[in-house]
Amino acid sequence: MRFPEPRTLSDLADWLGCTFVGDPNHLVTGINEIHVVESGDLVFVDHPKYYDKALNSAATTVLINKEVEAPKGKGLIVSDDPFRDFNKITKFYKPFAATSKAIADDLEVGEGTVIQPGCFIGSNVKIGKNTIIHANVSIYGDCVIGDDVIIHSGTVLGSSAFYYKKRPEGYDPLISGGDIRIDNRVELGASCTIDKGVSGTTIIGEGSKLDNNVHVGHDTQIGKNCLFASQVGIAGCVIIEDNVTLWGQVGITSGITIGAGCVVLAQSGVSKPLEGGKTYFGYPAEEARKKYKEMASIRVLPEIIAKLKQ
């Protein structure tokens, strides 16, 4: 998420009520999650396990709960609660705005696009040409939808990330201030749910097709011409490259990459990155041929054990 104008390290720290380490005039141009940070970004870290990852990331400002030496070219903002202060920044730049209208006045729609009755479309939404939005679709806002897209009934674009910090009094949500991009010729089935980015963009690439009841988590990037069957669940910050097929009820953990041309067979659980151009199966998902051989071996184990006892 980019700021309208850069802020200096000292200004931002003072506004948050924090101290800072580094050049007071060091510029902060936006905020982002660790998975997608770029130069100029601020990232937060509140656990020693991830200090090194944050300090050595592409982010040039780190919101941290311990005063340490700032790496060369970087600035630190030292907070007693970085999670809280990251939320404070998001709330300031992307406050929730209630609406009394089903379709926002600033909607931009291309020629030939049809929006069926019962849809909700929030502010800052752009829809391209010859797109069909079926009845009862909800588009929360901050969403760009391309040409020749089909979105079926009950689908929700822009729900918040499933991202919480456990507090003594309960779970504290990380506020989502990102957006969504749906590229040309995408089709989203009925009752799909696509979370917006926490601070970046959730992307569904050109020509990709999602069946009914598919979930895509925050900041996930899906490539071109992917095919996902019903009940696929994808966590946040996943990169899925082009021409990937995920069959029914595949689950994918956060922060990993699925290589181009992968096929993941039904009901598999993906817990680590997958090399492209191969077929995978099982939990944890492994190359299908290897997994099938293992399953065949297990079937003959009782027979082998019985022979050994003779």
Judge: domain 108-289, CATH 1.10.287.610: no
Cα separation, 269 vs 255, in Å, equals 14
241: Cα separation from own chain's centroid: 14
Compute the Cα dihedral for 81, 82, 84, 89 and give only its sign: positive
- Pairs from 69-73 (Cβ < 8 Å, separation ≥ 24): 69/21, 70/21, 70/22
The superfamily (CATH) of domain 2-93 is: MurE/MurF, N-terminal domain (3.40.1390.10)
Beta strand 125-127 pairing with 143-145: parallel
Q: How many of the other CB atoms lie within 10 Å of CB of 157?
A: 29
Reported as a pLDDT band with limits 50, 70 and 90, residue 34 is: confident
Do the domains at 2-93 and 108-289 have one common CATH topology?
no
Is residue 99 predicted with pLDDT exceeding 90? no
Instruction: Tell me whether residue 218 is one of the annotated catalytic residues.
Output: yes
Residue extents of the structural domains in the chain:
2-93, 108-289
| Per-residue model confidence as pLDDT tens digits over 154-176 | 999 999 999 999 999 999 999 99
Q: What pLDDT is recorded for position 177? A: 94
What pTM value is reported for the model? 0.91
| Per-residue model confidence as pLDDT tens digits over 211-270 | 999 999 999 999 999 999 999 999 999 999 999 999 999 999 999 999 999 999 999 999
